[in-house]
Structure 1
Protein backbone atom coordinates (compact mmCIF):
# COMPACT_ATOMS: atom_id res chain seq x y z
CA UNK A 1 0.00 0.00 0.00
CA UNK A 2 1.69 3.26 -1.08
CA UNK A 3 1.82 5.88 1.68
CA UNK A 4 2.93 9.46 1.03
CA UNK A 5 3.50 12.44 3.32
CA UNK A 6 2.65 15.75 1.61
CA UNK A 7 4.03 19.15 2.59
CA UNK A 8 2.21 22.38 3.31
CA UNK A 9 -0.50 23.24 0.76
CA UNK A 10 -1.82 26.59 2.05
CA UNK A 11 -4.64 26.66 -0.45
CA UNK A 12 -2.65 25.52 -3.50
CA UNK A 13 -5.35 23.23 -4.87
CA UNK A 14 -4.19 23.04 -8.50
CA UNK A 15 -0.75 21.90 -7.33
CA UNK A 16 -2.31 19.23 -5.12
CA UNK A 17 -4.22 17.91 -8.12
CA UNK A 18 -1.07 17.82 -10.23
CA UNK A 19 0.87 16.03 -7.50
CA UNK A 20 -1.84 13.40 -7.06
CA UNK A 21 -1.80 12.82 -10.81
CA UNK A 22 1.98 12.44 -10.66
CA UNK A 23 1.58 9.84 -7.90
CA UNK A 24 -1.20 8.06 -9.80
CA UNK A 25 -3.06 8.28 -6.51
CA UNK A 26 -5.79 5.70 -5.89
CA UNK A 27 -7.89 6.58 -2.79
CA UNK A 28 -9.06 2.98 -2.56
CA UNK A 29 -5.51 1.75 -2.04
CA UNK A 30 -3.10 4.58 -1.29
CA UNK A 31 -2.82 6.66 1.88
CA UNK A 32 -1.79 10.30 2.32
CA UNK A 33 -0.35 12.05 5.36
CA UNK A 34 -0.72 15.85 5.27
CA UNK A 35 1.77 17.87 7.32
CA UNK A 36 -0.69 20.66 8.15
CA UNK A 37 -1.34 24.18 6.90
CA UNK A 38 -3.95 23.04 4.42
CA UNK A 39 -5.27 26.60 4.22
CA UNK A 40 -4.53 30.32 4.00
CA UNK A 41 -2.62 32.61 1.65
CA UNK A 42 -2.98 30.44 -1.45
CA UNK A 43 -5.76 30.84 -4.04
CA UNK A 44 -8.22 28.06 -3.11
CA UNK A 45 -8.20 27.02 0.52
CA UNK A 46 -11.85 25.99 0.34
CA UNK A 47 -11.21 23.47 -2.45
CA UNK A 48 -8.23 22.03 -0.58
CA UNK A 49 -10.22 21.63 2.62
CA UNK A 50 -13.12 20.00 0.81
CA UNK A 51 -10.91 17.62 -1.14
CA UNK A 52 -8.84 16.46 1.82
CA UNK A 53 -11.92 15.99 3.99
CA UNK A 54 -13.57 13.96 1.21
CA UNK A 55 -10.62 11.55 1.24
CA UNK A 56 -11.95 10.12 4.51
CA UNK A 57 -9.84 7.25 5.83
CA UNK A 58 -7.42 7.64 2.92
CA UNK A 59 -5.95 10.75 4.54
CA UNK A 60 -4.36 11.68 7.86
CA UNK A 61 -3.98 15.37 8.66
CA UNK A 62 -2.04 17.02 11.47
CA UNK A 63 -3.01 20.58 12.25
CA UNK A 64 -0.70 23.48 11.46
CA UNK A 65 -0.65 27.07 12.68
CA UNK A 66 -2.68 28.30 9.71
CA UNK A 67 -5.32 25.64 10.30
CA UNK A 68 -5.58 26.74 13.93
CA UNK A 69 -5.75 30.34 12.71
CA UNK A 70 -8.79 29.46 10.60
CA UNK A 71 -10.48 27.91 13.63
CA UNK A 72 -9.67 30.99 15.71
CA UNK A 73 -11.08 33.44 13.15
CA UNK A 74 -14.17 31.28 12.73
CA UNK A 75 -14.62 31.30 16.51
CA UNK A 76 -14.75 35.09 16.47
CA UNK A 77 -11.14 36.10 17.14
CA UNK A 78 -11.34 39.24 15.00
CA UNK A 79 -8.14 40.65 16.53
CA UNK A 80 -6.09 38.10 14.60
CA UNK A 81 -8.14 37.98 11.40
CA UNK A 82 -5.97 40.34 9.33
CA UNK A 83 -3.87 39.01 6.46
CA UNK A 84 -6.11 35.98 6.07
CA UNK A 85 -7.48 34.60 2.82
CA UNK A 86 -10.10 32.50 4.53
CA UNK A 87 -13.27 34.31 3.52
CA UNK A 88 -14.44 31.69 1.04
CA UNK A 89 -14.36 29.02 3.76
CA UNK A 90 -16.14 31.22 6.27
CA UNK A 91 -18.89 32.03 3.74
CA UNK A 92 -19.26 28.48 2.41
CA UNK A 93 -22.57 26.66 2.93
CA UNK A 94 -20.65 23.68 4.32
CA UNK A 95 -18.40 25.77 6.58
CA UNK A 96 -19.70 24.25 9.81
CA UNK A 97 -19.06 20.70 8.62
CA UNK A 98 -15.58 21.62 7.38
CA UNK A 99 -14.62 23.39 10.60
CA UNK A 100 -16.01 20.62 12.77
CA UNK A 101 -13.96 18.11 10.82
CA UNK A 102 -10.84 20.28 11.02
CA UNK A 103 -10.89 20.75 14.78
CA UNK A 104 -11.11 16.99 15.27
CA UNK A 105 -7.84 16.35 13.43
CA UNK A 106 -4.75 15.42 15.48
CA UNK A 107 -1.69 17.50 16.28
CA UNK A 108 0.64 14.52 15.98
CA UNK A 109 0.41 11.18 14.19
CA UNK A 110 2.61 8.20 15.03
CA UNK A 111 2.75 4.97 13.04
CA UNK A 112 4.53 2.25 15.02
CA UNK A 113 4.67 -0.10 12.04
CA UNK A 114 6.51 2.42 9.90
CA UNK A 115 8.40 3.87 12.84
CA UNK A 116 7.47 7.39 11.72
CA UNK A 117 5.95 10.41 13.46
CA UNK A 118 4.31 13.36 11.71
CA UNK A 119 3.98 16.85 13.20
CA UNK A 120 3.53 20.23 11.60
CA UNK A 121 6.53 22.09 13.02
CA UNK A 122 8.70 20.37 15.60
CA UNK A 123 9.30 18.81 18.98
CA UNK A 124 11.07 20.62 21.81
CA UNK A 125 14.25 18.84 22.85
CA UNK A 126 13.01 18.15 26.39
CA UNK A 127 10.20 15.90 25.14
CA UNK A 128 10.60 12.23 24.36
CA UNK A 129 8.09 10.71 21.97
CA UNK A 130 5.77 9.55 24.75
CA UNK A 131 5.68 13.09 26.20
CA UNK A 132 5.08 14.57 22.75
CA UNK A 133 2.16 12.23 22.12
CA UNK A 134 0.69 12.96 25.52
CA UNK A 135 0.97 16.73 25.05
CA UNK A 136 -0.57 16.54 21.59
CA UNK A 137 -3.42 14.54 23.09
CA UNK A 138 -4.02 17.25 25.70
CA UNK A 139 -4.37 19.88 23.01
CA UNK A 140 -6.59 17.67 20.86
CA UNK A 141 -8.94 17.20 23.81
CA UNK A 142 -9.07 20.98 24.31
CA UNK A 143 -9.84 21.64 20.65
CA UNK A 144 -12.62 19.05 20.61
CA UNK A 145 -14.36 20.42 23.71
CA UNK A 146 -17.62 22.33 23.37
CA UNK A 147 -15.97 25.49 24.71
CA UNK A 148 -12.99 25.29 22.36
CA UNK A 149 -13.65 28.89 21.30
CA UNK A 150 -12.29 30.12 24.63
CA UNK A 151 -8.95 28.58 23.76
CA UNK A 152 -9.01 30.06 20.25
CA UNK A 153 -9.12 33.52 21.81
CA UNK A 154 -6.21 32.84 24.17
CA UNK A 155 -3.77 30.71 22.17
CA UNK A 156 -1.80 33.53 20.52
CA UNK A 157 1.49 34.65 22.03
CA UNK A 158 5.10 33.53 22.42
CA UNK A 159 5.12 32.87 26.15
CA UNK A 160 5.90 30.69 27.98
CA UNK A 161 8.91 29.96 25.80
CA UNK A 162 10.34 27.02 27.74
CA UNK A 163 8.73 23.74 28.69
CA UNK A 164 8.09 22.80 32.28
CA UNK A 165 5.92 19.90 33.45
CA UNK A 166 4.55 22.33 36.02
CA UNK A 167 2.84 24.46 33.36
CA UNK A 168 -0.92 24.48 33.72
CA UNK A 169 -3.98 25.79 31.92
CA UNK A 170 -3.65 28.16 28.99
CA UNK A 171 0.10 28.60 29.48
CA UNK A 172 0.63 24.87 29.08
CA UNK A 173 -1.73 24.72 26.11
CA UNK A 174 -0.06 27.70 24.43
CA UNK A 175 3.41 26.18 24.79
CA UNK A 176 2.21 22.88 23.32
CA UNK A 177 0.56 24.76 20.45
CA UNK A 178 3.68 26.76 19.69
CA UNK A 179 5.97 23.74 19.88
CA UNK A 180 3.90 21.55 17.58
CA UNK A 181 2.81 24.21 15.07
CA UNK A 182 5.37 27.07 15.11
CA UNK A 183 8.78 25.79 16.22
CA UNK A 184 11.88 26.17 14.04
CA UNK A 185 14.77 27.33 16.21
CA UNK A 186 15.45 27.13 19.92
CA UNK A 187 18.29 27.52 22.41
CA UNK A 188 20.29 24.52 23.61
CA UNK A 189 18.14 24.43 26.76
CA UNK A 190 14.98 24.22 24.65
CA UNK A 191 13.72 27.81 24.88
CA UNK A 192 11.63 28.45 21.77
CA UNK A 193 12.79 31.24 19.45
CA UNK A 194 9.56 31.77 17.56
CA UNK A 195 10.56 35.00 15.80
CA UNK A 196 13.30 33.25 13.81
CA UNK A 197 12.01 32.14 10.39
CA UNK A 198 14.92 32.03 7.98
CA UNK A 199 17.31 29.45 6.62
CA UNK A 200 19.76 27.56 8.78
CA UNK A 201 22.68 29.93 9.32
CA UNK A 202 20.51 33.04 9.34
CA UNK A 203 19.49 32.69 12.98
CA UNK A 204 20.74 34.75 15.90
CA UNK A 205 23.84 33.50 17.73
CA UNK A 206 23.17 30.74 20.21
CA UNK A 207 20.14 29.34 18.40
CA UNK A 208 19.88 25.94 16.75
CA UNK A 209 17.33 24.18 14.56
CA UNK A 210 15.17 22.23 16.97
CA UNK A 211 16.35 18.92 15.52
CA UNK A 212 20.05 19.75 15.99
CA UNK A 213 19.93 20.49 19.70
CA UNK A 214 22.42 18.20 21.50
CA UNK A 215 20.64 15.71 23.71
CA UNK A 216 17.29 16.03 21.92
CA UNK A 217 15.24 13.24 23.45
CA UNK A 218 13.62 12.24 20.14
CA UNK A 219 16.92 11.93 18.26
CA UNK A 220 16.36 8.17 17.87
CA UNK A 221 12.83 8.70 16.50
CA UNK A 222 12.08 9.37 12.83
CA UNK A 223 10.10 12.61 12.49
CA UNK A 224 8.49 14.22 9.43
CA UNK A 225 7.48 17.87 9.57
CA UNK A 226 6.46 20.85 7.43
CA UNK A 227 6.12 24.54 8.34
CA UNK A 228 9.66 25.66 7.42
CA UNK A 229 9.47 26.79 3.80
CA UNK A 230 12.79 28.65 4.01
CA UNK A 231 14.47 25.35 4.85
CA UNK A 232 12.88 23.55 1.92
CA UNK A 233 13.14 19.80 1.55
CA UNK A 234 15.75 18.58 3.99
CA UNK A 235 16.68 15.20 5.41
CA UNK A 236 19.20 14.14 7.99
CA UNK A 237 19.55 13.42 11.70
CA UNK A 238 16.42 11.24 11.58
CA UNK A 239 14.13 14.06 10.39
CA UNK A 240 12.55 14.95 7.05
CA UNK A 241 11.40 18.50 6.34
CA UNK A 242 8.81 18.50 3.55
CA UNK A 243 7.54 22.09 3.28
CA UNK A 244 9.35 22.98 0.08
CA UNK A 245 7.60 26.32 -0.41
CA UNK A 246 4.86 25.57 -2.92
CA UNK A 247 3.08 28.81 -2.05
CA UNK A 248 6.25 30.80 -2.71
CA UNK A 249 7.14 29.28 -6.07
CA UNK A 250 9.17 26.36 -4.78
CA UNK A 251 7.91 22.81 -5.03
CA UNK A 252 5.21 20.61 -3.57
CA UNK A 253 6.76 17.53 -1.99
CA UNK A 254 5.41 14.03 -1.42
CA UNK A 255 7.62 11.70 0.58
CA UNK A 256 6.98 8.01 0.03
CA UNK A 257 6.92 6.29 3.42
CA UNK A 258 6.39 2.60 2.70
CA UNK A 259 9.75 2.09 0.98
CA UNK A 260 13.30 2.49 2.24
CA UNK A 261 15.06 4.79 1.86
CA UNK A 262 12.40 7.49 2.03
CA UNK A 263 12.52 9.38 -1.25
CA UNK A 264 10.85 12.68 -2.22
CA UNK A 265 8.68 13.18 -5.29
CA UNK A 266 8.23 16.83 -6.25
CA UNK A 267 6.39 19.05 -8.69
CA UNK A 268 7.37 22.62 -9.43
CA UNK A 269 4.99 25.38 -8.32
CA UNK A 270 4.39 28.72 -10.00
CA UNK A 271 4.05 30.55 -6.68
CA UNK A 272 1.28 32.84 -5.52
CA UNK A 273 3.21 35.09 -3.12
CA UNK A 274 6.71 36.54 -3.03
CA UNK A 275 8.91 35.13 -0.27
CA UNK A 276 8.62 36.81 3.09
CA UNK A 277 8.09 33.38 4.42
CA UNK A 278 6.10 32.12 7.39
Structure 2
Protein backbone atom coordinates (compact mmCIF):
# COMPACT_ATOMS: atom_id res chain seq x y z
CA UNK A 1 0.00 0.00 0.00
CA UNK A 2 1.56 3.29 -1.04
CA UNK A 3 1.43 6.36 1.18
CA UNK A 4 -0.33 9.58 0.13
CA UNK A 5 -1.07 8.32 -3.36
CA UNK A 6 -4.80 7.55 -3.57
CA UNK A 7 -7.60 9.75 -4.77
CA UNK A 8 -10.70 9.42 -2.63
CA UNK A 9 -14.43 10.06 -2.56
CA UNK A 10 -16.52 11.34 0.36
CA UNK A 11 -20.11 10.38 1.22
CA UNK A 12 -22.31 10.89 4.28
CA UNK A 13 -24.62 8.21 5.72
CA UNK A 14 -27.20 8.21 8.50
CA UNK A 15 -26.12 4.98 10.18
CA UNK A 16 -28.45 4.87 13.21
CA UNK A 17 -31.78 6.45 14.10
CA UNK A 18 -32.82 7.51 17.60
CA UNK A 19 -35.93 9.24 18.91
CA UNK A 20 -34.14 12.59 18.67
CA UNK A 21 -32.95 11.96 15.13
CA UNK A 22 -30.20 10.14 13.20
CA UNK A 23 -26.48 10.03 13.78
CA UNK A 24 -24.31 10.16 10.68
CA UNK A 25 -20.90 9.10 9.53
CA UNK A 26 -18.69 10.49 6.78
CA UNK A 27 -17.00 7.81 4.70
CA UNK A 28 -13.75 8.61 2.92
CA UNK A 29 -13.10 5.96 0.26
CA UNK A 30 -9.87 5.61 -1.72
CA UNK A 31 -10.44 5.19 -5.43
CA UNK A 32 -9.05 1.69 -5.97
CA UNK A 33 -10.29 -1.49 -7.61
CA UNK A 34 -10.28 -3.72 -4.52
CA UNK A 35 -11.82 -3.82 -1.05
CA UNK A 36 -9.85 -1.82 1.48
CA UNK A 37 -9.21 -1.87 5.25
CA UNK A 38 -11.36 0.44 7.36
CA UNK A 39 -10.58 2.86 10.20
CA UNK A 40 -13.50 4.12 12.30
CA UNK A 41 -12.56 7.54 13.69
CA UNK A 42 -14.00 9.03 16.90
CA UNK A 43 -13.79 12.76 17.63
CA UNK A 44 -12.90 14.29 20.98
CA UNK A 45 -14.47 17.12 22.98
CA UNK A 46 -14.51 15.95 26.63
CA UNK A 47 -17.53 13.71 25.80
CA UNK A 48 -19.66 16.86 25.35
CA UNK A 49 -18.49 18.74 22.26
CA UNK A 50 -16.96 18.09 18.87
CA UNK A 51 -18.01 16.83 15.48
CA UNK A 52 -16.83 14.36 12.87
CA UNK A 53 -15.21 17.25 10.93
CA UNK A 54 -12.67 17.60 13.77
CA UNK A 55 -10.90 14.44 12.56
CA UNK A 56 -10.46 15.54 8.96
CA UNK A 57 -6.65 15.91 8.89
CA UNK A 58 -6.21 12.37 10.17
CA UNK A 59 -9.00 11.02 7.95
CA UNK A 60 -7.51 12.51 4.79
CA UNK A 61 -4.05 11.17 5.62
CA UNK A 62 -5.51 7.68 6.03
CA UNK A 63 -7.66 7.89 2.89
CA UNK A 64 -4.70 9.03 0.79
CA UNK A 65 -2.77 6.06 2.14
CA UNK A 66 -5.44 3.66 0.87
CA UNK A 67 -7.69 3.19 3.91
CA UNK A 68 -11.42 3.71 4.06
CA UNK A 69 -12.20 6.02 6.99
CA UNK A 70 -15.56 6.44 8.71
CA UNK A 71 -15.61 9.61 10.83
CA UNK A 72 -18.47 9.35 13.31
CA UNK A 73 -20.95 11.58 15.01
CA UNK A 74 -22.54 9.93 18.04
CA UNK A 75 -24.61 10.80 21.06
CA UNK A 76 -22.75 12.56 23.84
CA UNK A 77 -23.09 15.41 26.38
CA UNK A 78 -26.31 15.14 28.39
CA UNK A 79 -27.32 11.93 26.64
CA UNK A 80 -24.64 10.40 28.81
CA UNK A 81 -22.70 7.19 29.17
CA UNK A 82 -23.05 4.62 27.59
CA UNK A 83 -24.93 6.26 24.69
CA UNK A 84 -21.70 7.02 22.80
CA UNK A 85 -20.58 3.40 23.08
CA UNK A 86 -23.93 2.15 21.77
CA UNK A 87 -23.51 4.29 18.66
CA UNK A 88 -19.83 3.44 18.10
CA UNK A 89 -20.43 -0.28 18.56
CA UNK A 90 -23.35 -0.16 16.12
CA UNK A 91 -21.38 1.91 13.60
CA UNK A 92 -18.66 -0.76 13.44
CA UNK A 93 -21.31 -3.43 12.86
CA UNK A 94 -23.21 -1.28 10.34
CA UNK A 95 -20.04 -0.80 8.32
CA UNK A 96 -19.20 -4.51 8.44
CA UNK A 97 -22.75 -5.43 7.45
CA UNK A 98 -22.49 -3.16 4.39
CA UNK A 99 -18.85 -3.96 3.63
CA UNK A 100 -19.63 -5.76 0.38
CA UNK A 101 -21.47 -2.91 -1.31
CA UNK A 102 -19.18 -0.23 0.16
CA UNK A 103 -15.91 -1.93 -0.84
CA UNK A 104 -14.62 -2.53 2.71
CA UNK A 105 -12.62 -5.33 4.29
CA UNK A 106 -14.84 -6.41 7.18
CA UNK A 107 -11.96 -8.47 8.57
CA UNK A 108 -9.56 -5.50 8.70
CA UNK A 109 -11.08 -2.79 10.90
CA UNK A 110 -9.37 -0.36 13.25
CA UNK A 111 -10.53 2.31 15.68
CA UNK A 112 -8.95 5.73 16.09
CA UNK A 113 -9.75 8.59 18.44
CA UNK A 114 -8.42 11.78 19.96
CA UNK A 115 -8.71 12.94 23.60
CA UNK A 116 -12.11 11.72 24.89
CA UNK A 117 -12.47 10.06 21.48
CA UNK A 118 -9.35 8.06 22.25
CA UNK A 119 -10.96 6.86 25.46
CA UNK A 120 -14.14 5.88 23.60
CA UNK A 121 -12.18 4.12 20.85
CA UNK A 122 -10.24 2.01 23.34
CA UNK A 123 -13.28 1.24 25.48
CA UNK A 124 -15.25 0.17 22.39
CA UNK A 125 -12.33 -2.03 21.29
CA UNK A 126 -11.96 -3.65 24.70
CA UNK A 127 -15.68 -4.43 25.06
CA UNK A 128 -16.98 -5.30 21.57
CA UNK A 129 -19.55 -7.74 22.94
CA UNK A 130 -20.74 -5.81 25.99
CA UNK A 131 -24.54 -6.27 25.94
CA UNK A 132 -25.11 -2.61 26.87
CA UNK A 133 -22.94 -1.33 24.02
CA UNK A 134 -24.35 -3.89 21.55
CA UNK A 135 -27.96 -3.23 22.62
CA UNK A 136 -29.12 -2.27 19.12
CA UNK A 137 -29.43 -5.30 16.84
CA UNK A 138 -27.23 -5.45 13.75
CA UNK A 139 -28.85 -4.17 10.54
CA UNK A 140 -30.99 -6.81 8.80
CA UNK A 141 -29.82 -9.37 11.35
CA UNK A 142 -26.31 -9.43 9.88
CA UNK A 143 -23.94 -11.87 11.58
CA UNK A 144 -21.30 -9.28 12.45
CA UNK A 145 -19.65 -8.16 15.65
CA UNK A 146 -17.89 -4.96 16.76
CA UNK A 147 -14.42 -6.45 17.18
CA UNK A 148 -11.47 -4.58 15.68
CA UNK A 149 -7.91 -5.51 14.80
CA UNK A 150 -6.04 -2.36 15.93
CA UNK A 151 -6.50 0.89 17.86
CA UNK A 152 -4.68 4.24 17.70
CA UNK A 153 -5.27 6.74 20.50
CA UNK A 154 -4.08 10.32 20.27
CA UNK A 155 -3.61 11.79 23.79
CA UNK A 156 -6.65 9.94 25.18
CA UNK A 157 -8.46 10.67 28.44
CA UNK A 158 -7.91 7.02 29.26
CA UNK A 159 -8.98 7.31 32.91
CA UNK A 160 -12.02 9.58 33.29
CA UNK A 161 -12.05 9.21 37.07
CA UNK A 162 -8.42 10.22 37.65
CA UNK A 163 -8.72 13.15 35.22
CA UNK A 164 -11.87 14.34 37.01
CA UNK A 165 -10.12 14.22 40.37
CA UNK A 166 -7.06 15.88 38.90
CA UNK A 167 -8.96 18.91 37.58
CA UNK A 168 -10.95 19.19 40.81
CA UNK A 169 -7.71 19.24 42.81
CA UNK A 170 -6.34 21.97 40.59
CA UNK A 171 -9.52 24.01 40.94
CA UNK A 172 -9.69 23.57 44.71
CA UNK A 173 -6.05 24.61 45.10
CA UNK A 174 -7.01 28.07 43.80
CA UNK A 175 -6.16 29.85 40.54
CA UNK A 176 -6.24 26.72 38.36
CA UNK A 177 -4.57 26.80 34.91
CA UNK A 178 -6.83 28.12 32.20
CA UNK A 179 -7.12 24.72 30.48
CA UNK A 180 -9.12 23.37 33.44
CA UNK A 181 -12.01 25.58 32.32
CA UNK A 182 -15.30 23.71 32.53
CA UNK A 183 -13.82 20.20 32.38
CA UNK A 184 -15.34 19.13 35.73
CA UNK A 185 -18.77 20.20 34.51
CA UNK A 186 -18.33 18.31 31.24
CA UNK A 187 -17.45 15.16 33.18
CA UNK A 188 -20.53 15.66 35.34
CA UNK A 189 -22.81 16.24 32.33
CA UNK A 190 -21.75 13.10 30.49
CA UNK A 191 -20.83 10.66 33.25
CA UNK A 192 -23.37 11.76 35.90
CA UNK A 193 -21.54 9.87 38.69
CA UNK A 194 -18.01 8.94 39.68
CA UNK A 195 -19.20 5.32 39.74
CA UNK A 196 -19.83 5.54 35.99
CA UNK A 197 -16.37 7.11 35.47
CA UNK A 198 -14.93 4.13 37.33
CA UNK A 199 -16.94 1.53 35.42
CA UNK A 200 -16.41 2.84 31.86
CA UNK A 201 -12.69 3.13 32.40
CA UNK A 202 -10.12 1.26 30.28
CA UNK A 203 -7.39 1.78 32.89
CA UNK A 204 -9.44 0.34 35.72
CA UNK A 205 -10.86 -2.47 33.55
CA UNK A 206 -7.28 -3.71 33.25
CA UNK A 207 -6.38 -3.10 36.87
CA UNK A 208 -9.54 -4.90 38.03
CA UNK A 209 -8.50 -7.88 35.92
CA UNK A 210 -11.68 -7.88 33.84
CA UNK A 211 -11.76 -9.91 30.66
CA UNK A 212 -11.24 -7.59 27.70
CA UNK A 213 -10.25 -7.72 24.04
CA UNK A 214 -6.70 -6.37 23.62
CA UNK A 215 -5.99 -5.55 19.97
CA UNK A 216 -2.60 -4.07 19.05
CA UNK A 217 -2.63 -0.42 20.12
CA UNK A 218 -0.67 2.79 19.76
CA UNK A 219 -0.84 5.74 22.18
CA UNK A 220 0.48 8.98 20.68
CA UNK A 221 1.16 11.52 23.42
CA UNK A 222 2.16 15.15 23.03
CA UNK A 223 4.49 16.40 25.76
CA UNK A 224 4.25 18.45 27.87
CA UNK A 225 0.48 18.00 28.11
CA UNK A 226 -0.96 18.37 31.63
CA UNK A 227 -4.49 17.80 30.29
CA UNK A 228 -3.77 14.17 29.40
CA UNK A 229 -0.28 13.36 30.72
CA UNK A 230 -0.32 13.63 34.52
CA UNK A 231 0.36 11.42 37.53
CA UNK A 232 -2.51 10.08 39.62
CA UNK A 233 -1.31 10.39 43.24
CA UNK A 234 -3.89 7.81 44.35
CA UNK A 235 -2.73 5.11 41.93
CA UNK A 236 0.43 3.92 43.65
CA UNK A 237 2.17 3.92 40.27
CA UNK A 238 5.50 5.69 39.78
CA UNK A 239 4.73 7.32 36.47
CA UNK A 240 2.14 9.27 34.51
CA UNK A 241 -1.14 7.90 33.22
CA UNK A 242 0.18 6.93 29.75
CA UNK A 243 2.95 4.80 31.30
CA UNK A 244 0.49 3.33 33.80
CA UNK A 245 -1.91 2.25 31.04
CA UNK A 246 0.84 0.84 28.85
CA UNK A 247 2.18 -1.21 31.77
CA UNK A 248 -1.31 -2.56 32.56
CA UNK A 249 -2.08 -3.35 28.91
CA UNK A 250 1.15 -5.28 28.49
CA UNK A 251 0.67 -7.05 31.82
CA UNK A 252 -2.75 -8.21 30.59
CA UNK A 253 -1.12 -9.66 27.46
CA UNK A 254 -1.76 -6.86 24.97
CA UNK A 255 0.71 -5.23 22.58
CA UNK A 256 0.90 -1.44 22.86
CA UNK A 257 3.41 1.25 21.90
CA UNK A 258 3.71 4.70 23.44
CA UNK A 259 5.00 7.42 21.11
CA UNK A 260 5.93 10.80 22.57
CA UNK A 261 5.88 13.86 20.32
CA UNK A 262 6.16 17.62 20.79
CA UNK A 263 2.84 18.85 22.14
CA UNK A 264 3.20 22.24 20.45
CA UNK A 265 3.17 20.61 17.00
CA UNK A 266 1.19 17.45 17.72
CA UNK A 267 -1.65 18.20 15.28
CA UNK A 268 -1.25 17.23 11.65
CA UNK A 269 1.66 15.23 10.30
CA UNK A 270 3.37 14.71 13.68
CA UNK A 271 0.50 12.49 14.80
CA UNK A 272 -1.18 11.61 11.50
CA UNK A 273 1.84 9.91 9.92
CA UNK A 274 2.50 7.54 12.87
CA UNK A 275 -1.21 6.73 12.86
CA UNK A 276 -1.05 5.78 9.18
CA UNK A 277 2.12 3.73 9.69
CA UNK A 278 0.62 1.78 12.61
CA UNK A 279 -2.53 0.90 10.71
CA UNK A 280 -0.44 -0.11 7.69
CA UNK A 281 1.40 -2.61 9.89
CA UNK A 282 -1.72 -4.08 11.48
CA UNK A 283 -4.50 -3.75 8.89
CA UNK A 284 -2.91 -3.64 5.43
**Which interval holds the TM-score relative to the shorter structure?**
0.3 to 0.5
Pick 1 or 2: higher relative contact order, CA cutoff 8 A, min separation 6: 1
More helix by share: 2
TM-score when normalising by structure 1: 0.34
TM-score when normalising by structure 2: 0.34
